[in-house]
Structure 1
Amino acid sequence: MMLFPMAVDIYHGSNEWSAFAVAAVATAVTGGALARGTRGALKAGLTIRQAFTLTPLSWFSVAAASAVPFYLAEYDDVSGHVSNAVFEAVSGITTTGATVLSGLDSAPPGLLLWRALLQWMGGVGIIATAIAILPALGIGGMQLFRTESSDRSEKAMPRVRQIALTLGSVYLGLTVLAALVYWFAGMHAFEAIAHALTSVATGGYSTSDASFGNWEKNGIQWFATAFMLSGSIPFVLYVRFIAGESKALWDRQVKTLLGVVVVLTLVVGVWLIISGQYGFEAAFRHAAFNIVSVITTTGYATADYSQWGNAAVGLFFALLFIGGCTGSTSGGIKIFRFEVVAIMLKTHFMRLLYPNGVFPRTYGSRMLDDDVVGSVVAFLTVIFLSYAVVTVILMGFGLDFLTSASGAVTALSNVGPGLGDIIGPAGNFSTLPDGAKWVLSLSMLLGRLELFTVLILFVPRFWRG
């Protein structure tokens, strides 16, 4: 993949091509040696312990390799700066979108394309992880989707390879469609391709410091809102829809996500009109775009929504936690976990009212087993503890509470921009201390891999027998 930005830099006469050439050779040699040295070693398949070990190591290795072009580049913000190079690479591959780069409008095209490609690869990587790995490991209630996803997919398309090909085709198709729409709507071809790669991946890297605030005409922001939503829908549903299930896309998670987006857009849009900040169309356009951007953990911005009032700041801080649907490119806690909590609360209240009643916990047509409920509760406990711990650590570096708290949430939820003057939608992470950047880089990887996949490696019993 490094050859693409190398070719772009050569075409545009940029000297940055050599950074990608060196990094490409280094990763090709290393990857080739690893592949040759382990050929045939796993013919029997992966054990649970091997899967737990391989998943985080793979993501950490890819992130490290992805940082090499940034480090070797001649761009001031990352050149020779390990912390910044790693931070930018991790943010890209985890589709977080937090950045330490400034002056993007005049940045080398290869560097901009590399950032976009990282998010695109990270998006398809997390889809594969969420479908093939996390359900099998029972992370955070994901086992709920293990039988459902495989059963329904196998009825539609018997072979796993065919499912993977269809998922990849859908992902690529949505990206091509987004690029064409952006291009016809007024973006230059390069800008259209870069934003298409990061829209469907719900990544948020842009080619402009003003993000999508740089493009307001011809409905581009409305189109971007739609493509961000398309990336936050479970991609298995696209497979089922293509296989002939006409109502597949009208899934419970999708309905909940769209319902939340519509209600919040109406509320914020009306507030922006009443407060006199925008006219009718602009108010709902900015409200819809930025709400969708945060709730899908994309991280684009059309305006500095932290200037919309204290209530808006509180709302967007809450949205940092949510995330899109399971099996999508979005990060965050995920819609289904909030739905499981709602089911648990409803059941609890019903038992308080009718102590002798029987109230089965069901999610759609499936029973919510105790292990699923327990996994969800455990995940929520650990994620909120992680938010608190990271916040305190960041405050230890001298950052204020809003910057620390929103930075912790935006990193662990893989959203991108935080809140406040420093890391808000109008700022970036370049001025943070190097130690804070390393903490946030680790947090982004932890959040992307649903925490337990990484944390279990630190349990001594894991390495025994």
Structure 2
Amino acid sequence: MYWLKRKMKKVNWRLIANMNGYVLICLGLLMVLPLICSLLYKEKVVYDFLITIAICLLVGFALSRIRLDRKDYFARDGMIAVGLCWITASLFGCLPYFISQEIPSFVDCFFEAVSGFTTTGSSIVPSVEELSKGILFWRSFTHWIGGMGILVFILAFFPKSNDRSMHIMRAEAPGPVIGKLVPRIQQSAMILYVMYMGLTLLCIVFLLAGGMPLFDTLCYTFGTAGTGGFSISSLSVGAYNNVYFEVVITVFMLLFGVNFNLYYFLFLKNFKQIFKNEELRMYLFVVFSCIILITLNISHMYGGILEGLRYASFQVATIISTTGYATTDFNLWPMFSKGILLLLMVLGACAGSTAGGIKVSRFVIILKKIRLDIQRLVHPQKVEAITMDGKVVDDSVVSQIMAYFGCFMLILFACIFLVSLDNLDFETTVSSVFTCIGNVGPAFGLAGPMGNFAMYSDFSKLVLSFAMLVGRLEIYPVLIFLFPLFKLPDMCRRKKFNKMD
């Protein structure tokens, strides 16, 4: 008990509470946009947004004014701050749903908010057309907020960041390795958001040019940019049956699945760095290979190769980028194509993008690690290192990736075991956990692209919400948040925590 109190005291809880305050202030200010949307459509939900904004600003201001006894923080503090801030954002971000009673159950509201901020797109709403415009706008906007990261936004636009803010960037940015684009961390965060906003505006322009209404354009762009998947129609993008819209969204889903560092290199005209990027090459190879395989497998269902290519390319893009839109019910596809989509749910897109999944770079390094270990069994004296983009990958990074994959699989199976208590069919249960931990959105079976997650119990919805948070924050912030609750052996405690600090 003494160790627990000492360890809890060592964590800079005042600073973490302070960060939560800034998150709530930021959240309250961002809710002004759906408030304006509700005002334009003269909806009663205006008052619900006003109440939520007032709550966020009052609680946020109170937390942000907490006096700090020390301003320094370390990697563990950054991890805990990120984990807690995302839970706080989800709890307060679900208030418009609950106060308006457009989603009556608080657990359902929390599930919807977590799904939005983690850019998953899994929904418990049977008919989204019945929701107000303001709520629909907020659902989609949460994708855009969570896409690049809530705290990265604060680092970019709030003046309280410092050199130690890198701990927050590493905890929140997706991928095995995160580095600064420029020496100052605030400038790095600003550059990321400028590129993010630029691509978002470009997507808006292209959809408007095709004749999509402004409200629809904003909602689908927020989902595309954040690789989320909340739609304003039960039929998703398929409701338009418009090839132009599908092509534009397909292209931008794939673009938002690319490491944003490469866009910075493109801006600097450093084309050599882009062309030698192994992750990008593997990402494009997987995309085009899966499109070809699925096209050949489903073309007979759509009357020809061209129509098969149309639906295959959109679904491959939406699944590997973990966006989750749909133009057809892929639940009816042959098992071979569904199997490919299931694997893409786990794989995800590139590190440093807005996509979920384990990331292509981790997959490449795992394959190289397996190949190297097999070679060492045959040639024990062989000395060779794992390389990416011509650079040697540090052994500690490889170990972290293998540990991450192990944790990913353990949590995946644990969640499947817990969700199976609802006694739904195997396909629905397994694919629901896969899609939630991969932050994809639609699953198979009852939770397919034309279904939803409303049939799950409150317990399973909380388990799936946990899976979404673990998938978006890539496990470690959640586990490190729980570390103070467990007493580790003395030797492990000295080595692990001292090294982290």
| TM-score (structure 2 length as normaliser) | 0.85
1:272 aligns with 2:298: yes
Greater CA drift, 229-238 or 193-202: 229-238
1:166 aligns with 2:195: no
- How many Å apart are 1:391 and its aligned residue? 0.6
CA contact (8 A) 1:56 1:453 kept: yes
Q: Specify the alignment match of 2:93 in structure 1.
A: 66
1:137–1:437 distance in 2 versus 1, CA, 3 Å: closer
Q: Specify the alignment match of 1:22 in structure 2.
A: 51
1:50 aligns with 2:50: no
Q: Specify the alignment match of 1:440 in structure 2.
A: 464
Read off the aligned partner of 1:62 and give its amino acid letter: A
Unaligned runs of 5+ in 1: none
- How many Å apart are 1:132 and its aligned residue? 3.8
Which of 415, 419, 425 does residue 449 from structure 2 map onto?
425
Q: Distance in 2 between matches of 1:453 and 1:160?
A: 20
Q: Specify the alignment match of 2:335 in structure 1.
A: 310
CA contact (8 A) 2:82 2:172 kept: no
Read off the aligned partner of 2:66 and give its amino acid letter: G
Q: Specify the alignment match of 2:9 in structure 1.
A: none
For this pair of structures, how many residues does the alignment match? 449
- How many Å apart are 1:134 and its aligned residue? 6.8
Greater CA drift, 298-307 or 277-286: 277-286
Q: Distance in 2 between matches of 1:41 and 1:192?
A: 47
Q: Secondary structure at the match of 1:417?
A: coil
Q: Specify the alignment match of 2:218 in structure 1.
A: 193
Read off the aligned partner of 1:262 and give its amino acid letter: F
Aligned-pair Cα RMSD in Å: 2.4
Q: Distance in 2 between matches of 1:249 and 1:297?
A: 23
Q: Distance in 2 between matches of 1:218 and 1:291?
A: 16
Map residues 68-217 of structure 1 onto 2, 5 A cutoff. 68-75=95-102, 78-79=103-104, 81-125=105-149, 128=152, 132-133=166-167, 136=170, 142=176, 145-146=177-178, 149-150=179-180, 153-154=181-182, 158-217=183-242
Q: Distance in 1 between matches of 2:225 and 2:278?
A: 21
Map residues 6-17 of structure 1 onto 2, 5 A cutoff. 6-17=35-46
1:229 aligns with 2:258: no
Q: Specify the alignment match of 1:252 in structure 2.
A: 278
Output one character per residue of 1:222-263: Cα deviation in whole Å (capped at 9) or x when no partner: 110111111111112222221332344442211111110001
Read off the aligned partner of 1:430 and give its amino acid letter: A
Map residues 346-357 of structure 1 onto 2, 5 A cutoff. 346-357=371-382
Q: Distance in 2 between matches of 1:41 and 1:248?
A: 44
1:67–1:92 distance in 2 versus 1, CA, 3 Å: same
CA contact (8 A) 1:297 1:415 kept: yes
Map residues 299-448 of structure 1 onto 2, 5 A cutoff. 299-420=324-445, 422-448=446-472
Output one character per residue of 1:343-401: Cα deviation in whole Å (capped at 9) or x when no partner: 11221232233333222221222222221111111111111111111111111122221
Q: Distance in 2 between matches of 1:227 and 1:126?
A: 21
Q: Distance in 2 between matches of 1:438 and 1:180?
A: 38
1:36 aligns with 2:65: yes
Q: Distance in 2 between matches of 1:289 and 1:15?
A: 37
Q: Distance in 2 between matches of 1:283 and 1:426?
A: 19
CA contact (8 A) 1:387 1:405 kept: no
Output one character per residue of 1:180-217: Cα deviation in whole Å (capped at 9) or x when no partner: 11111121111001111110110011111101111232
- How many Å apart are 1:135 and its aligned residue? 7.3
CA contact (8 A) 2:298 2:334 kept: no
| TM-score (structure 1 length as normaliser) | 0.91
Q: Give aligned-pair identity as a percent.
A: 29
Q: Distance in 1 between matches of 2:46 and 2:126?
A: 20
- How many Å apart are 1:141 and its aligned residue? 8.0
CA contact (8 A) 1:139 1:452 kept: no
Q: Distance in 1 between matches of 2:150 and 2:166?
A: 10
Read off the aligned partner of 1:452 and give its amino acid letter: Y
1:220 aligns with 2:240: no
